[in-house]
Structure 1
């Protein structure tokens, strides 16, 4: 399949509510996404550039985005963002959350400018990014949410979010741009092998390609299986939450099997507070729950940038 055919096939299954905002970094992937979407829905596409200010070249990236959007008549919103992580929070998690906040703010700003509500936001992660995410999750001993890798569609903050290129290899996007004579910006950190993701991209993926030429397709299938299993666990957690309440009652948690108890605790912390306990934190919380047999027994465990504490008959997570 040619690069053009792969992109065309990906966009056939991509039917977002319009207008659509594209997260536009200036790199090859997002450049291809902006142009392909504008070609398909002219006048219905805008772009959001998140200016992180983390590199000396950040202003150059923003200027490139402005030039391309002006040339192709795509409204652009530039949002400045500083991602500082709190104590106990990973820098990667802080950066991800800051980026989503910036994209959401950019979509609201575009709505005000265009006087039309932006309905959907598209991100340009592709098949190689999906494989890298899965391999990183495996290397960290992740559970089903990590093995499910990145979803192709979800809802957040009142918007539909999409990743339409998850079945398209990164090289195909570059070939598609090159065939059109379209340049893009190269992030200088992408070649730095100090970053694990870059070592996977430059060293592991070529080896996988040599041994398992269809690895992108088969890995994606495994991630889809993990996502389906995680959806079932989500349904179980929602059923258990109806009995335990949210925040959960300690007595109701103690009636569950260890697996269902852990599943409900993860669901509660993520759905209500946007935090995910580590495996060690979850084990310790379950140990404290098992020992909680008297009215005065205290529970106190640090999770992310807050603490899980007992308050009467319930567990609370407090910032």
Structure 2
């Protein structure tokens, strides 16, 4: 009779996922920390690693979107994992269906962030970690390139930002997605038991899924280091955008931009700037003051064509009687005396 093979001990998780191990070692959030936990491999690895590093200081946030039959299974996996690890869980159910003119992705993303924010604040947590990784960052950059995005889009996803009284973190943006599964597998976990696979990730009706299934493998063959180099390009774009934001803030102060709708830039002072600086200031004004460009994106953004038309109108505004009123994003920009103002007719 053949001898029974001796079970092999799990491999060293650190050696199986060196970039992930380094990312967790560098991560310095405020404690207690909440981790957005879907039950998938990425957030499972992040939750387990954070719980190991900060025992008793980590909580989990789960959002049930109600968009697919598998969502109940996700929540069951999440609850089982949190019970096993003795991690407090805060689950929320939302209606993430999109409205007319809104993309399903935007609707789900907006509902998810609102639910995560409410759950974190209710739990008394100020720092929230998200599990987006290097592959997600590459997909975001490629989507931005396909839309002809400017620097804010090319900067892709920030690793940290503050919003709604919370500090948000993406500590895994330099970690390949495959490493997260390797780290879990080195701990003896596998799909279906240690984490769940979202069936919608295989649906190639979604552009992100087509990029993941068709484009990333080809990029890996042609440019083996593309995740690191693309991340570096996104970081350069983010740095350049920060410099433009600083310049826009200076120009905003010089042109009298305030916080209210009646405190837009003075037209004469705006015309004294170069066209490029006018465009930079107007983007800053529309994005920051009137929140046209939301972090999660959407139809409220001012289009490039709208901005160019507004710049042409400003160039032609040489008399006191020149009228300006243009649709920009979800509202309108108009001349009111010597200033520009933005308003939303629907509001």
| Same fold (TM > 0.5) | yes
Could you tell me which residue of structure 1 aligns to residue 273 of structure 2?
256
Residues 109-258 of structure 1: pairs in structure 2 closer than 5 A:
109-111=122-124, 118-182=125-189, 183-244=194-255, 245-246=257-258, 247-258=264-275
Choose the corresponding residue for 1:278, options 285, 300, 303: 303
In structure 2, relative to structure 1, the CA distance for the partners of 1:192 and 1:108 (3 Å cut) is same
Residue 290 of structure 1 and its aligned partner are, at CA, apart by 2.4
Q: Distance in 2 between matches of 1:64 and 1:312?
A: 60
Using the size of structure 1 for normalisation, the TM-score is: 0.92
Q: Would the aligned equivalents of 1:88 and 1:305 in 2 still touch at CA under 8 Å?
A: no
Choose the corresponding residue for 1:13, options 21, 26, 31: 26
Residue 56 of structure 1 and its aligned partner are, at CA, apart by 1.8
Task: Considering fraction of residues, name the structure with more helix.
Answer: 1
Deviations 1:197-252 (A, max 9, x none): 11111111111111111111111111111111111101100100111223222222
In structure 2, relative to structure 1, the CA distance for the partners of 1:98 and 1:296 (3 Å cut) is farther
Residue 146 of structure 1 and its aligned partner are, at CA, apart by 1.1
In structure 2, relative to structure 1, the CA distance for the partners of 1:254 and 1:225 (3 Å cut) is same
Q: Which moved more, 1:306-315 or 1:253-262?
A: 306-315
Residue 304 of structure 1 and its aligned partner are, at CA, apart by 3.1
In structure 2, relative to structure 1, the CA distance for the partners of 1:142 and 1:3 (3 Å cut) is farther
In structure 2, relative to structure 1, the CA distance for the partners of 1:63 and 1:14 (3 Å cut) is same
Q: Distance in 2 between matches of 1:87 and 1:294?
A: 41
- SS of the counterpart of 2:17? helix
Using the size of structure 2 for normalisation, the TM-score is: 0.85
Residue 302 of structure 1 and its aligned partner are, at CA, apart by 2.5
Q: Would the aligned equivalents of 1:87 and 1:305 in 2 still touch at CA under 8 Å?
A: no
In structure 2, relative to structure 1, the CA distance for the partners of 1:248 and 1:80 (3 Å cut) is farther
- SS of the counterpart of 1:302? strand
Deviations 1:280-304 (A, max 9, x none): 1111221222233344443333333
- SS of the counterpart of 1:220? helix
Q: Distance in 2 between matches of 1:280 and 1:88?
A: 19
How many residue pairs match? The answer is: 313
Q: Distance in 2 between matches of 1:158 and 1:258?
A: 36
- Segments of 5+ residues of structure 2 without an aligned counterpart are 1-13, 259-263, 293-300
- SS of the counterpart of 1:209? helix
Residue 84 of structure 1 and its aligned partner are, at CA, apart by 5.6
In structure 2, relative to structure 1, the CA distance for the partners of 1:90 and 1:55 (3 Å cut) is closer
Q: Would the aligned equivalents of 1:152 and 1:166 in 2 still touch at CA under 8 Å?
A: yes
Q: Distance in 1 between matches of 2:131 and 2:140?
A: 14
Q: Distance in 2 between matches of 1:207 and 1:161?
A: 32
Q: Which moved more, 1:177-186 or 1:289-298?
A: 289-298
Choose the corresponding residue for 1:75, options 88, 93, 97: 88
Residue 24 of structure 1 and its aligned partner are, at CA, apart by 1.0
Residue 178 of structure 1 and its aligned partner are, at CA, apart by 1.9
Q: Distance in 2 between matches of 1:317 and 1:126?
A: 37
Q: Distance in 2 between matches of 1:226 and 1:40?
A: 32
Q: Would the aligned equivalents of 1:130 and 1:149 in 2 still touch at CA under 8 Å?
A: yes
Choose the corresponding residue for 2:313, options 277, 288, 300: 288
In structure 2, relative to structure 1, the CA distance for the partners of 1:94 and 1:260 (3 Å cut) is farther
Residue 7 of structure 1 and its aligned partner are, at CA, apart by 1.7
Residue 43 of structure 1 and its aligned partner are, at CA, apart by 0.8
Q: Distance in 1 between matches of 2:310 and 2:98?
A: 24
